Structure 1
Amino acid sequence: MNRPRTSALIYHQTQAIKPKYGASFPQNRSFSACSMRSPSPLQIRLQKAKPWQRIFDGDKQSVYSQQGFQLLRNKQNVDAVISNDFFNMKEETSFDDSIQHSLLPSPIQVHIDQLLEQIDDLTLLFEEERLNHKQTRQKAGENLINQFRSQNDKYNNIINQMLIEHENVLEDLRSKHAKEIIKEQDKADARERHIQSEIDYVKNSFHTYKITMDKENEEKLRLKD
């Protein structure tokens, strides 16, 4: 089965407890699983097991054994013991993945298989979440663009409506102003006609008065003669 690169990495890290021929470990040394990290001063002081500690931790028992290699564990620690025989084995001796896979104890292998299955499930879940996030982000972007276009169309319609209303108001003002001008022009024409008629009346009255005065003067002159 093709597994993700992450699961393969953890699988190989877990396989570190299996013996690799030609490994450069010190001879006749015991390595604890908890000692792979840098020990703190407290851990250094606690490395020497106290008598009461042995009671709580229990005796170490062998859970896996091979030529030159032994895996011991108790309630608290898992130790790997490597002897001189391990380094005297032929370097050309090798095992394929299926043989190395079968060398692990059944409980450890079951636990590793469960971890790998969980890693596969988490990888699939992560990929689904990534795709969902991508789709959600794409959908949010599309919704934002649609909202922007909708608001833009809305404001454009409002502006166009306001321009139409403003043009109608201006047209009404022009029409009203034109009517006022015509009305004032009619009044001015009427006043002009009235004044002209009064002027004509005054002229006619003056002309009549002049004729009358001329006749009276002629009559007076004739009577003097």
Structure 2
Amino acid sequence: MLIATHLSLGYGRTVLLEDVSLTLEPGTVTGLVAPNGFGKTTLLRALAGIDGARARGALDVDGTGPRDGSALRRLVFYAPGDATLLYPNLTARDHLRMAARLWASPLDPDVVARRTGTDAFAHKRVRALSQGMKQQLTLAIAYLTCARYLLLDEPMNALDPTNVQLHSQILRGIARRGAAVVMSSHILDNIDAIADRIVFIKDRGLIEHDPAHSTARALELYRRLYQSFT
């Protein structure tokens, strides 16, 4: 399991999260929801052991700590939602083959390309891709790593409805095979459809919601929690 305990995160004098704890269990999909600026990206990066924010607390990933960077990278993969993972002058195919090589992936990058629809633009350089195509490619790279913990920042952003459905199915399949998936999103209908639980950020803390034990939907809960921000 990925276990973060007594975690506090911030920048300068700004505190985004204070003394929070979170456990991610393999086989589950967790939705991470909050308005912009509440710390979703900062939390995902901290869970991946990526430096940046002022951080205090403990992180344990299957017995591996943040100081063991190479081992942690094999277990946890953070995929940003703004295409900064990608190199503008490389093709989509270059990226997939490079990811397969770097993570010693058991998956065939050409098969992953076909499964994710990135084969349609595999020959194109990233600089020529639309935002939606870049997002498809970022997700395909995440799948190729076969990381046990996938931390996805706005993974459905810029995807058309067909690709949202496709990648939702892929992520559920990855979870069924034993991975833990965390996805931040503003597409709350998608969170309802795919997540086993939802974690909201509010007042520097985390509020967990289990959809299996409530009829409340993500949008309804979002409005209750953040009505002053909408």
Q: Which has the higher contact order (CA 8 A, sep 6+)?
A: 2
Q: Same fold (TM over 0.5)?
A: no
By percentage of residues, which structure has more strand? 2
Question: Please, what TM-score do these two structures have when normalized by structure 2?
Answer: 0.18
By percentage of residues, which structure has more helix? 1
Choose 1 or 2 for highest CA Rg.
Answer: 1
